Each structure stands twice: as structure tokens, then as C-alpha cells.
Structure 1
Amino acid sequence: MRTILFLVAILTGSMGLAQDLSGIWRGTLTQEAGGCFPVYNLEFQVAFTNNSMEGRSFDFYDRNRFVKHHFNGRFNAQTGRLVIIEDRVMEVNIPVDCVPCTKTYDLVYSKQNGREQLTGTWKGYESESHKACPPGKITLYREANSAFPVDIDQPEALAKLQQNLKIESREKEVVTTIQLDTSNIRIDLYDNAEIDNDTVTIFLNNKLLLYKQRLTDKPLTLTLKAFPDMDYELMMYADNLGSIPPNTALMVVTAGRRRHELRLSASDKKNAVVRFRYYPK
């Protein structure tokens, strides 16, 4: 009997270790008396690696009234418990008589009738005054789609630059679509041949990430934590054609143990595009 129980414990632990919480989780968040609303909608966009997670949280009354935070968290695969801590307010669009609340979530993962869920409690503090917010409870379910656009991290300076940036409208040429089995992605861009002063501007899902950067034998590097079953599109815009047209680049995509090498070519008539998507195992 002890041997059987020991084997069951091993199998249970192995199942926990294999659990991937990446993706979209959505449901309700309640708040005790004193909050702006007694019940909110709540969505987590989770990128999960080795029992650590980061992502975005949206507590919202509707699509036009919401607070968006960045968060980090840890998952205990043996107990099913996870703690998520919001560490940065990213966007606020709420009534003037409400205040954003930055929260810590204490949750448990379970599966009921074949449906995955996160349940637990939360507490927090007002983002400006640091006064305690009335706490509450949470129930979330894994969902296929997000109620909000999945965001791309963009440096503040580039976000401001993009607001007034004007680039020529050009045809898109899709080089390939890559299927990935990990959320951690590294993208390196080099000059493809002779270094001839090729300069590029790079967008990912229409977010400006590199602006007028020269391609050389040293990489221009981007990193991304991809959400599962979401489409990502990297576009290379040629700022010039170098001394040997067209503007060419070697793009190396490293995802886990896999490495993809692609040759991109852009001109004053077309942009080079690579699409990719993360499919969890």
C-alpha cells in the first residue's frame, strides 16, 4: 500500500509540474463595501514559464471603464496555489470618483467538470494614497479569447515617437509563418550580406520597437513573452536601401531549443513581414 501511495504522489506531482497556466483567464472580482462597484469583471493575460508568470490584468466594469496593471507571480505546482502581485499601473480609464487599486491575488488552480479555474481572494491598496482597498474574492476561468488587445511591451520613448511618426504606406510581403512551442522568444537581426549601411525600422503588432537602426554583423535584439494562440506580426520597414539595394537582413528567431534563420528583403515599395504563433504543448 505504501508503494502504491508513493507512486500516486509521484504521478500527482508530475501532473502539477506539467501544468501550463499561459493564456487568458477571465471572470469576476468582488469587493466588500466601500469600493466603487461591488462586482467587477477581471481578466489576466498570463505568460507562464517554469512556474513563474508575468502579464497584464484588467479589472473592468465594461470595455470603456477599466484599470490595466502589469503583474508578476509564482505557481506552486505541488499545492496548486499561485500568488500574483500587480507592480505597475499601465492604463486607467475609470469614473472620476473611483481610484485604481493595486492588488495581490492569492489563488488556487483547480479543474471542475473539465473546466479550468482560479479561485481565491485579493487585497490591495489605492495606487496614489496607499490606503487599503476593501478586499474581495475572485473566480476566473480559462478562456480562448481576450476581451482586450494582447499588448506588446514598448519603451515609453518609442511610444511617444510613434504618436507623431509618419511612414510611407507600402505593400506587405509575408516571408513565412512560424509555429512555436515556447513563449520565450528572442529575435536577432543582422545585415544579410555585405554591410552597406542598411537601416531599418521594426514594428511588432503595429508597435514601434526599433527606429532607424543600422544593420551590422552585431545583432539588433528583441525579446518577447508570447501568449498562446495569439497572432504576432513583425514588420521590417526599410528606411534606406543601403549602397547595395534592396535592404536585406538575416533574422534569427530562437525559441527554446529551436532556431529559425530567415532572409528578409525590404524596399521602397514593400515591407518584409514574418508572422508567428505560440502553440502550447
Structure 2
Amino acid sequence: MRYLFLLALFLVTRCAGAQEVNGLYIGTLYNDTTRLLQHFELSLTQEGGRIRGFAYSTFTVNDRFYYGIRKVKGIIRDGQLFVEDDDLLDNNFPEKPAKGVRKLLVLPVTGGGLVETLEGRWETNRTKIYAPVTGSVSLRRKTDSVGSALVARLNELRPAPAATARPLPRHSEPKTPVAPAAAPVPLAFAERKSNSLRPVTVRGDSISLALYDNGVVDGDSVSIYLNGQPVLTHVRLSDTATRYTLRLPAGEHFELALMAENLGTLAPNTGLLQIVDGEQRHNIYFSADLQTNARLELLKQR
């Protein structure tokens, strides 16, 4: 009994001190060579010692939006989380990804329980052609998936369930076909619910807006409202920026909303709103449908 008690105590202590990395982490990935700061998301599922998930990275160059989404696998060892690239699922990179090059994230994890912050380094492997590339990564755990480009992109990649026809039993009468579900009815702007995104603080009296589709270009169209009034309507999203200079009225608090005009061929309507305020650049990933707007607060700093 004494040995069983000690074993149980050991297992409880071990579980209490174990690190958990289940969930969605969003932040940035910096490249030491190109000095490019990329939006980066990591979704991890931990089952025992096995960690699997997805990684999503984006960047814009010359008003063009690029993205890549891939599977990842990982392990926690000696107080560090190792996350390695696996299969590339989709991308629109300007060049074909280098063959055999994979990225490894090394992220210290300390203490027990759910890990809220992941900060560390990353490095690619050396090949016969390519030297290693290094950089840093900084991520924070999200409690929900609102504004997650990774989750929206995974939903787009998920195949629709195929309808299977079952043979009718012998001597049975054919049943009356069931009518397909009605398409969602678009609501007026003021009637839609709102998904609140993170607030953005600006200094200037005018800001520059750039709109992109953040995944497959599928015909998404949006309108932008400032304090309930339309300022930009029926913008068709693509991987090339649609730019607009927005002059802010007097005041210190404004509401910016994005309304989906349609759902494209892949619901919901997802995109990237880039807000440029002088030297500051804010990337806001949004998701909206015909009943829900994406909403954010603009706070004017004096």
C-alpha cells in the first residue's frame, strides 16, 4: 500500500506540474534576414505526449497579400515546446516553397497548467542548397476564435459533406423529396449582430485602410461603416489591396464596422483590414456573414 500511495502521489504531482498547450495562439513571427514581421497563428491539440495542430502565416508585399497554412507536430521536452512544420496544406506564395525546408519553433514553457504565452526562437534546417534562416516568435493564447484567420481558413478548406443516395427497398413507394434548406436572408446593417474585434488606437486625423481577402479569392464583397454611416461600399476582396483614405470626424471614439454584402462561394466572408496610421500598421482579421457584422473601436489619442 505504501508503494501504491507513493506512485499515486508521484502521478498527481506530475500532472499538476505538466504544461498544457491546447488552444489557439495568435501573434507575430519575425525573420532575422528579411526583417519581415508576419502575422502568425498556431492552433494546438495536446493528447498525452503528442501535440498536433496547424500554423498560419501571412505577409503583404507591394500591396499583395500572401498566406500559407500547414500542419504542425510538436513535443514538450526539458521545459521547452518544440513545434515542427509538417505538410503544407495551401498557399499563394509568389514562388514555390523550397523543397525539404522546414521550420522548427523552440518555445520555453515553465510552470504548470495552461500556457498563456509562447515566446522563443525559430530556425529552418540546413539543406544542400539553403542555409538556415532564423527568427523570433511571440504568441498569446486566445480564449475564443473571433478574428482568427486560421480558424476561418480551416473552415474554408473543410470539404462540404457529400450527399449519398441510398437505394430504395424493394416494393417501396418513393418518398416525397425534402426541400433544401432556405438560404440565409441578408439583414439590414442595423439589424445585424456584431462580433467585436480588438480596439485600435490612432493618432492622425486621417488613416489609410487596405482591404484584402485573407484566403481563397472567392468573390467576397464587403462595405465599411463609420459610426453607422457607409464610407466604402461593395468592395470585392482579392489578394490585391483596395485602399481608401478615411478622414476622421471630431471626437475621440469611433465605431468601424465591416458588413458582408455576400458570402462568396465559401462562407463566411473573411478578410484582412489593414489600418495605417503614420508609421503604425494594424492588421485586423475579420469574419462576417449576412446576419453578423465585424466591429471594432477606433480610439483617438491626443
Given the two structures, how large is their TM-score scaled by the length of structure 2? 0.43
The structure with more strand, counted as a fraction of residues:
1
